[in-house]
Chain A
Amino acid sequence: MSQPAPSLTTTEAVPLGSPSLSDAVPVDAASWRRRVDASARLPVLAYVLSGVVWLLVGTVFALLASFKLHEADWLGETAALTFGRVRPAHLATMIYGWLSMVDVGIMIWLWGRLLKTEVRHPWVLLASCALWNVGMVVGTVGLLAGFSTGVEWVEMPVAAFFCIVPALGLVAFALLSSLGRRRVRHLYISVWYLGACMLWTPILLVAVLLPIYSGVPHATVNWWFAHNILGLWLTPVGLAAAYYFIPKVVGRPVYSYHLSYLGFWTLALFYNWAGVHHLVGGPPPQWLVTVSIVFSVMMIIPVLVVAVNHHMTAFARIRRVLYSPTLRFVVFGAMSYTVVSLQGALMPFRSLMEVTHFTHHTIAHSHLGVYAFATMVAFGSVYYLLPRVTGWEWASRRLIALHFWTTGLGIGMYVVGLTVGGIQQGLLMNDASVPFLDVVIATKPWLWSRSIAGVLITVGHLTFAWLVWQIVRHRGPAPDGPVYFRPPPTGLFGRGDGGRAPVADSSLL
């Protein structure tokens, strides 16, 4: 079967429309990539750096929330730092600050690369980034000051979303406007995921924020949204990145490109029905919950398709994870996606939900998705694209390794601890002869294990932030090639430099 190679090195450059970006259009692939990377430089840097700042802010909230759950009186006098305020602040800064913003950065860069065209309207993108950050500051301060909307996953005061939704609209405008100027006919599967989620995400946010709901229908739209912001926003960007970086670093085409169409459309059709399984056993009409359970199980199809494509592609040359930071992070993320999605397809059964619903098991599951999948893929993507847009290299392979092992082990410990602890909590809770306070006390060791895991992850985040700062500032010795975990055998990664700009290329923007 002949699959279109995701690599742009050999695809034909078919000019569509009348692209005349420059009189001197460079013809070889490496020059192309440098031009595209250069055009993406400022917006990508702005979004990635903003994301990293919010990652650090969100990490502080995470530690506060985690420790407060077993040390309830710690900082207990300060209203702004009570658990019920820092927890939504953690979610908001991680989802809408860190992951959404770094994902937009990745998206802008992938978009240019995959359409083989310069990123258009960089100033619009920069303005959208500024607007987004304003929204995040308003939202975070608002939450700590006590202005929560009370609706899970959109707790930030509505003013914050009045910034973020238009910012997303500007991103969509800037990126979609380059579709007509693309120099490839075929749209690679990553473009499908990215294009669709640019449409889905503003619709999701507007739909959930409409002030027309109350009571039980409000709960169903709430969980329709909360599930979809993962499945139709963070997941498509994560999958788009994995579909790009795995074949790129492995140097082989996607295992079965035709399967990837099936994976895309089944995700688009099935995922957005699954969210109401969060209300199993609750007051919504039973048909709704049943529909959601059915679609949750049907998600097995897109998950297996993506698993086949990602893992079969990566396993063809799996030894490369020993060397490439990008591949190691992205493969970790892709494997987590398979695990979390299969778990997600089985969890909604009523018999299992009877135990795991309302427990820390759910928290473990959500972190397996948002962190072990989406965040790890984002880390891997940043390790690939920042050298291309900064023209510099990562300062230390040892620190990248530290980042990988602290976050990888940390999230593993987090998920295992809360999964086991959540099942125990659920079993005890369903035994009416156990006093409720005994259930609370039984979960405490698992809450401690979560806090220790959180400290490990924090070490990883500080390392990552420091590395990003170094590469952006061009610190350290002048690079003499890509940074690998260890020196790869000669020729392992071929001739390609992946389109790195020459060091200190000053012709950019």
Chain B
Amino acid sequence: MLTRPALLFLGAFAAILMSYTALSLVPKMQLATIEPTPGTEQPFGAQVQGREIYIREGCVYCHTQQVRAPGYGADVERGWGPRGSLPGDYVYDSPHLLGTMRTGPDLRDIASRQPSADWHYAHFYNPRSVSPGSVMPPYPWLFRTVEVGPGGAPGNAVPLPPEFAPGDGLAIVPTGEAEALYAYLMTLKLEPVEAPAPSPATE
């Protein structure tokens, strides 16, 4: 009968140890020696800072970074990537940012789909300036408002539709943070692999 607590704790401990080993340690070992896929590079400098901003602002709650293979969902048909994601796409990801929610579109291949800096800056500043109907939050704290001098707007002024522009004699310019975030997004690029992608770790 249930009178021996030691039995309970042993059983409970064994149960959790088994699943931790199988679901965490075994995949860690299985994927320990995996090669990065072509095009996957270790981020550095501003790209690293941009990734930290991506984490800080919680982009992961609305954007996944995982493309489902053709035949499962419509990710590739939507132009979100040329193929399904593979473990090798993530070897430099720490923490991982796979995400589980698509209030917005997947971003794993955003660099191929939308490389324009002007578009991204306007979108960060206020998403509705380029995507009417979007529910993405604005990030004005990644920008500065500057006065337009006699020489005209600064070269890096963000082009905005009139209803989002800051007013006469003013311009919006990205801070280093906005530039870093853009630099990070431009690392998110999927390249087709030679052989048709085998499903991850086929066995």
Contacts and interface: CB of A to CB of B under 8 A. Distances in A.
A359 B84 CA distance: 19
Given A220-B24, A265-B11, A436-B78, A284 B87 contact: yes
B55 to A, nearest CB: 4
A436 B64 contact: no
A315 interface: no
Given A281-B73, A284-B200, A288-B27, A213 B105 contact: no
B93 A440 contact: no
B154 interface: no
B23 A292 contact: yes
Contact of A203 (B16, B74, B101, B136): B16
A228 B97 CA distance: 20
Contact of B1 (A186, A265, A272): A186
Contact of A286 (B16, B23, B78, B201): B201
Interface stretch (B126-134, B155-163, B166-174, B178-186): B126-134
Interface string A213-245: 111111111101000100010000000000000
A476 interface: no
Contacts of A10: none
Contacts of A273: 19, 22-23
Interface stretch (A76-84, A318-326, A492-500): A76-84
Contacts of B19: 224, 228, 272-273
A175 B203 CA distance: 46
A78 to B, nearest CB: 8
Contact of A268 (B11, B55, B98, B105): B11
B9 A199 contact: yes
Interface residues of A, number: 88
B38 interface: no
Interface in B44-96: 55-62, 64, 66, 68-69, 72-74, 77-78, 84-87, 89-96
Contact of A429 (B24, B28, B73): B73
A217 B74 contact: no
Contacts of A53: none
Given A82-B57, A83-B58, A265-B11, A283 B90 contact: yes
Interface string B125-152: 0111001111111111100000000000
A272 B15 contact: yes
B31 interface: yes
A430 B96 contact: no
Contact of A216 (B27, B68, B133): B27
B114 interface: no
B116 interface: no
B12 A200 contact: yes
Contacts of A76: 137-138, 140
B37 to A, nearest CB: 10
A150 B51 CA distance: 10
A63 to B, nearest CB: 16
Interface in A106-152: 146-152
A185 interface: yes
A310 interface: no
A275 interface: yes
B101 A358 contact: yes
A224 B117 CA distance: 38
A69 B135 CA distance: 6
Contacts of B90: 214-216, 219, 283
B2 interface: yes
Contact of A275 (B23, B84, B85, B103): B23
B33 interface: no
Nearest to B97: A150
Most central of B15, B58, B84, B132 by chain A CB within 10 Å: B58
Nearest to A71: B135
A347 B11 CA distance: 28
Interface string A363-400: 10000000000000000000000000000000000000
Nearest to A151: B95
Contact of A430 (B73, B85, B133): B73
A291 B22 contact: yes
Contacts of A232: 16
B73 A196 contact: no
Given A217-B24, A218-B93, A436-B78, A85 B5 contact: no
20 contacts: A76-B140, A77-B140, A83-B58, A84-B56, A150-B60, A186-B3, A214-B96, A216-B87, A216-B96, A221-B28, A224-B19, A272-B16, A273-B23, A281-B66, A358-B64, A362-B101, A430-B74, A431-B74, A436-B105, A440-B135
A-B pairs with lowest CB-CB distance, top 10: A84-B58, A285-B201, A150-B55, A432-B77, A214-B94, A215-B90, A272-B19, A196-B12, A358-B102, A218-B96
Interface of A: 68-70, 72-73, 76-77, 79, 82-85, 87-88, 146-152, 176, 179, 185-189, 192, 195-196, 199-200, 203-204, 207, 212-222, 224, 228, 232, 261, 265, 268-269, 272-273, 275-276, 278-279, 281-288, 291-292, 350, 354, 357-359, 362-363, 429-432, 436-437, 440-441, 443-444, 447
